[in-house]
Amino acid sequence: MNGSDILMALAALALAPLIGGILRGLDRILTARMQGRIGPPLWQPFYDFIKLCAKSKKASHRGPVVWAWAYLVLTVTAWLLFVLRQDLLILLFILAFAGASLALGAFSVRSPYAHFGAYRELLQMLAYEPILLLAAVAIFLKTGSFMVGDVLGFEQPLLISLPLTLVAVLIALGIKMRKSPFDIAASEHAHQELVRGVYTEYSGPTLALIELTHWYELVLVLGIISLFWVIPLWVGIIIALSCYFLEILIDNITARLRWSWMLTVGWSLGVGLILLNIVIVEFFGLGLRL
Amino acid sequence: MGLITKSRIKSPWIVHYSCGGCNGCDIEILACLTPLYDVERFGILNMGNPKHADILTVTGPVNHRNYRVLKNLYEQMPDPKVVLAIGACACTGGVFHNCYNVLGGIDKVIPVDVYIPGCAPRPETIIDGVIMALKKLNEKGSKAE
């Protein structure tokens, strides 16, 4: 690791929450407009964040706070691995453990609502983890490497040979962003049948911590999507942003559905599309065997 | 205006508890969230979780069964917090004031910061009350610092 890498990592650490927060603000404005409302200002997520930081600390005990920190630290680690062009597979495993620590934090309190949320969070992970891992495998079969650096150096856009994989990753993005129809663990829009699911027992600064982690997570997942078109990179970023817009649109036109439906879609449609894509690339000669 | 003060005023999250009125006030509160009034313009969100909320809005008269719930909700909210009594019943007990099961207004159980009269109050009045509550919220917050 040299000096420029360290500088880049620091810049990524500082910029990701800024971009993530603005994206969340855009999300709230777009959602409001789609519902015929004006919506909050663009900076609303930052107001919420600062307000939460200034509230009094009220935790039932230390366990959930430690797991919230684990969630943040592991997600930031995954983001740094991405920025430093490291192994895509390791990055996804760390991201999986970050998601698990959110569920473990909810399991470490005695609230039944938090427990329900945690079970559902684990079900969500069960639905999207195979999609992300198989997407990494598909990228490997195409580029011959799991390293983000090598994917960035691959001259042919991945989207041309892996379009079905991108569609599958969109399902994972929907679950990761906690949007309808996959908004199951957290009831993001005050649906309240679970109170707030996994976040029920968090309040004040700890909740702000989780919000910050969501921003990192959002930027990271959009970053993974932009890997599908890296030369030139701005095309990839536009693809990622349009996927984000598509998720907001889907969020506003669909109802929340049950976890069993989510698992069915994740495992049949998601995994099926990627497998089909791999088969086409591998056996019909569209792929580049190394 | 400091950053914390500004954020506090710009992001009041509400938890709504109905002590058991006639639901008229509850409907007016929900009307505030609809496109016509759209209180999310001011960053106001209906949270449904006392641990995330800044403002407790209560409708209906408090009675012998639910005063414990009301107290519990109030105690679960992290500081700074304010309480809004919405409608005649929550302010004084209203038409139920001399019923054998009713304690009266919610100020018999928890400290109330803003009283919003009306049966039921119009959404404009409720929004006005929330703005008044924000001033109190900020006073409480700066006192704690």
Query: How far is Cα A105 from Cα A103, in angstroms, rounded to an integer?
Result: 5
Whether the per-residue pLDDT at A77 is higher than 90: the answer is yes
Does residue A262 register a pLDDT over 50? yes
CA distance A198 to A60: 14
CA distance B98 to chain A (A): 34
pLDDT of A21 higher than 90: yes
Give residue for tokens 């009220």. A58
Q: How far is CA A47 from CA A22, A43, A54, A171, A226, in A?
A: 12, 7, 11, 30, 29
CATH of the domain at B48: 3.40.50.12280
Give CA–CA dist A201/B52, Å, rounded. 9
Tell me the average pLDDT of chain A: 87
Which of A37, A47, A196 is nearest residue B49 as measured by Cβ atoms?
A196
**Residue A232 pLDDT grade (very low, low, confident, very high; cuts 50, 70, 90):** confident
> What is the percent of chain B with per-residue pLDDT over 70, rounded to a whole number?
98
Residue A289 has pLDDT above 60, yes or no: no
- For residue A62, being part of any structural domain is answered with yes
Q: What is the pLDDT of residue A257?
A: 83
Sign (positive or negative) of CA dihedral A157, A158, A164, A168: negative
Give SS3 for B77: coil
- Residue A190 pLDDT level (bands cut at 50, 70, 90): low
Q: Which residue has the tokens 């976890």?
A: A259
- Residue given tokens 């015929």 in the structure block: A36
Give the integer Cα–Cα distance in Å for A177 and A174.
Answer: 5
Put simply, the answer to whether A46 touches B46 (Cβ < 8 Å) is: no
pLDDT of residue A30: 93
Residue A85 counted as domain residue: yes
| Backbone dihedral angles phi then psi of residue B53, each to the nearest 5 degrees | -95, 155
Euclidean distance between CA atoms A94 and A78, whole angstroms: 6
Q: How many domains does chain A have?
A: 1
pLDDT tier at A191, thresholds 50, 70, 90: low
Q: How far apart are CA A26 and CA A275, in angstroms?
A: 34
Question: Which whole-number Å values give the CA distances from B115 to A74, A233, B58, B86, in the listed order?
Answer: 46, 56, 10, 6
Q: How far is CA B13 from the centre of its chain?
A: 10
B residues 49-68 closer than 8 Å to A (CB):
49, 51-52, 54
Per-residue pLDDT tens digits for A141-161: 888 888 888 888 887 888 888
Q: What is the DSSP letter of B85?
A: E
pLDDT value of residue A151? 84
**Residue A41 counted as domain residue:** yes
Distance from CA of A76 to the nearest CA of B (A): 24
The Cα–Cα gap between A99 and A220 comes to 13
Query: pTM here?
Result: 0.91
What residues of A are in contact with residue B51 (Cβ under 8 Å)?
58, 200-203
pLDDT of residue A192: 65
Number of domains in chain B: 1
Q: Is residue A290 part of a domain?
A: no
Cis amide linkage into residue A17, ω under 30° from 0: no
Q: According to the model, what pLDDT value does residue A157 have?
A: 83
For the stretch A119-132, pLDDT in tens is 988 999 999 999 99
Structure confidence at residue A59 (pLDDT) = 78
User: Which residues constitute the domain of residue A178?
Assistant: 3-283
Q: What is the average pLDDT across B116-139?
A: 89
Separation in Å, CA of B41 to nearest CA in chain A? 4
Cβ of residue B80 closer than 8 Å to a chain A Cβ: yes
pLDDT higher than 50, residue A290: no
- Do A54 and B49 count as a contact with CB atoms less than 8 A apart? no
In a domain, A103, yes or no: yes
- The residue of chain A with its CA nearest to that of B81 is A55
Distance of CA B53 to the CA centre of its chain: 10
Structure tokens at B128: 């006005």
Q: Give the structural domain span for B102.
A: 3-144
- pLDDT for the residue numbered B58: 92
Q: Looking at the predicted structure, is the pLDDT value of residue A286 above 60?
A: no
Query: What is the pLDDT, as a whole number, of residue A69?
Result: 94
pLDDT over 90 (residue A97): yes
The answer to the question of residue A128 being in a domain is yes
